[in-house]
Chains A and B, each alone.
Chain A
């Protein structure tokens, strides 16, 4: 067990791309930490630098207070699970699980014993241990890769999109399983993913990255409810957040020629005439078929059935705004509807730098745990 500290980590690829740009990060002991971002944001480079597979150009990496920046991967005492599982096709499952132990000169008998006990805890039992990875299903292979990582009790787990090769249903099961497993083992875990639902579901804390920088470092629920900037706002959430350009005027704002009230907490911090971006999740707005003052109104252009609710796309001026409605009050295509944002959930960003206005402890809503599976 150990905490993980990154200080000023920089990695510049040939051609001048800064994959990591003077990055600082502290991951607590026993924490499940997710690195989230689009491809090319540097999350994998960061993970590989922690592993020692990538050499940073500047900065330090400390595991449990020990500087490992110059140590080879094998001396860092960490285990990594790759997207392709990296199982050796010429070894049996048991040999695969115990291979790191073989490198550490553990005897044949002890290796077999460890493979059996770790395997059993991951439902890899009986005849499966003596089969070759090629004879297993994707889900089983994934568990074998996990078992190999667990078998030699590393101080840190590194996961590089380990669920990406599973089909959708299996991925949800494996996700639950992985979260339980990490909690039981209590090993510090860094988990790289481009899937925001996975990060929200699994992580204790997460970092949302863009072009080598961390754009927000927070709990999953804060990243979901209070994205620090428009980048995070647009990246997190299964249905993308509405980001509407608006102009502040007389304590409210103009959106596509219509009036909308601003949240109380923001009013004192903006000036009349200032350009802002309103962030409104489709889940945090009511759709009404009768006229509501202070609502945005327009015709329904697209209807999408999401199961429990429906996603409605409304044309407001030259903007297209999405909102979800419960199954019992879905408007018809072409209906004129009124959209009323939940004032407590309405986010306001500065138009120039995309940062959220009124960041601070005074945020007016209680933290709630968000179940990413239902998003």
Chain B
């Protein structure tokens, strides 16, 4: 008997039953009992809302009017409406640019570059650097958003003050770029820490062997560093793309404007569902966002498995 079985007070088994089968059944039942509370929470807060969203997406449910009291099943009409709505297309495009610009290029690209530059730092200077990075990362998004509003404001902004009262309307002229920079600033620290951790797992002898063979920095990066920490980079990429895809905080800076120029999908959903009260339509878009997230995750798993 394993120690685990010994700990569970076993009910007396029928003499005819093989003891092995009884023990296995008991073990399975014990495992289910242990995992049940967690499963219940997941079911109530994740699975049920997801299914409820899928159902709502097939109705004309609204916050007000007759449909609020008596929503009708309308099939795929919401999905058809979304695909025919140029604002949905615009929103999807803005989201893709936002994710690519701020997560892939910004957070991962810049984060890795910084980790690579600072990889040689040791001792006190490294500790200070890490504290600064973590502080930058743990500031709440809403606070960071208002920091950037204060920084980029047309008349009283810090940036314009530095530039000599230039009065450049940054958030109006370059709204998408502004929120990309905002999200890059907010999230680079995470990628930098993760990449730094990945780089430190690389044995120094690997790069030294390459240096002795005459490999340039670029060759070392391409042939040894990147393939070695590929798994770390992909995991990081998956996390930050999903986070950025579902990120609502740009709303705090530009509220989706001007002229829908920064209306990412989460903001689009918010507007339709909670500003325009079209809960059914919003649910349908949410379902589409869910599918996009799933596709990203599947592509990631495929890439990760293929090379391993």
Contact = CB atoms under 8 A, between A and B. Distances in A.
Contacts of A76: 212
Interface in A241-291: none
A103 B208 CA distance: 14
A74 B212 contact: yes
A82 B209 contact: yes
B16 interface: no
B203 A74 contact: no
Interface stretch (A4-12, A84-92, A226-234): A84-92
Interface string A69-91: 00011111011101111101111
Interface of B: 203, 205-206, 208-215, 219, 223-224, 227-228, 230
A169 interface: no
Contacts of A73: 208, 211-212, 214
A275 B287 CA distance: 93
Nearest to A89: B228
Interface residues on A, range: 20 to 34
B211 A72 contact: yes
Given A82-B205, A84-B203, A103-B219, A152 B227 contact: no
B210 A99 contact: yes
A109 interface: no
By CB atoms of chain A within 10 A, which of B203, B212, B228 has the most?
Answer: B212
Contacts of A74: 211-215
Given A79-B212, A82-B209, A148-B209, 15 more contacts: A52-B212, A74-B211, A75-B214, A76-B212, A80-B208, A80-B209, A86-B205, A86-B206, A86-B209, A90-B227, A91-B227, A100-B213, A102-B223, A103-B210, A104-B214
A53 interface: yes
A100 B214 CA distance: 8
By CB atoms of chain A within 10 A, which of B203, B208, B227 has the most?
Answer: B208
Given A86-B205, A86-B206, A51 B212 contact: yes
Given A88-B228, A89-B228, A90-B227, A103 B213 contact: yes
A115 to B, nearest CB: 14
Contact of B208 (A86, A88, A100): A86
Contacts, number: 63
Contacts of B215: 74, 103
Contacts of A103: 210, 213-215, 219
B203 A78 contact: no
B210 to A, nearest CB: 7
By CB atoms of chain B within 10 A, which of A75, A103, A104 has the most?
Answer: A103
A281 to B, nearest CB: 37
A50 to B, nearest CB: 11
Which 8 A-B pairs give the minimum distances between C-beta atoms? A74-B214, A100-B213, A86-B205, A82-B205, A90-B227, A86-B209, A73-B211, A73-B212
A154 to B, nearest CB: 9
A74 B215 CA distance: 7
Given A88-B228, A90-B227, A80 B212 contact: yes
Contact of A78 (B212, B223, B228): B212
A104 B215 CA distance: 9
Interface in A143-183: 148, 152
Given A84-B205, A103-B219, A90 B228 contact: yes
A51 B223 CA distance: 21
B100 to A, nearest CB: 26
A138 to B, nearest CB: 16
Contacts of B212: 51-53, 73-74, 76, 78-80, 100
Nearest to A96: B209
A84 B228 CA distance: 16
A134 to B, nearest CB: 11
Contacts of A91: 227
By CB atoms of chain A within 10 A, which of B210, B213, B219, B227 has the most?
Answer: B213
Nearest to A76: B212
Interface in A31-63: 51-53
A148 B67 CA distance: 74
Contacts of A75: 214
A47 to B, nearest CB: 11
Contacts of B228: 88-90
A270 B40 CA distance: 91
B214 A86 contact: no
7 contacts: A73-B212, A79-B212, A82-B205, A86-B203, A86-B209, A88-B206, A103-B213
A30 to B, nearest CB: 20
Contacts of A100: 212-214
Nearest to A48: B208
Contacts of A88: 206, 223-224, 227-228
A91 B213 CA distance: 16
A83 B211 CA distance: 17
A102 B211 CA distance: 13
Contacts of A85: 205
A152 B213 contact: yes
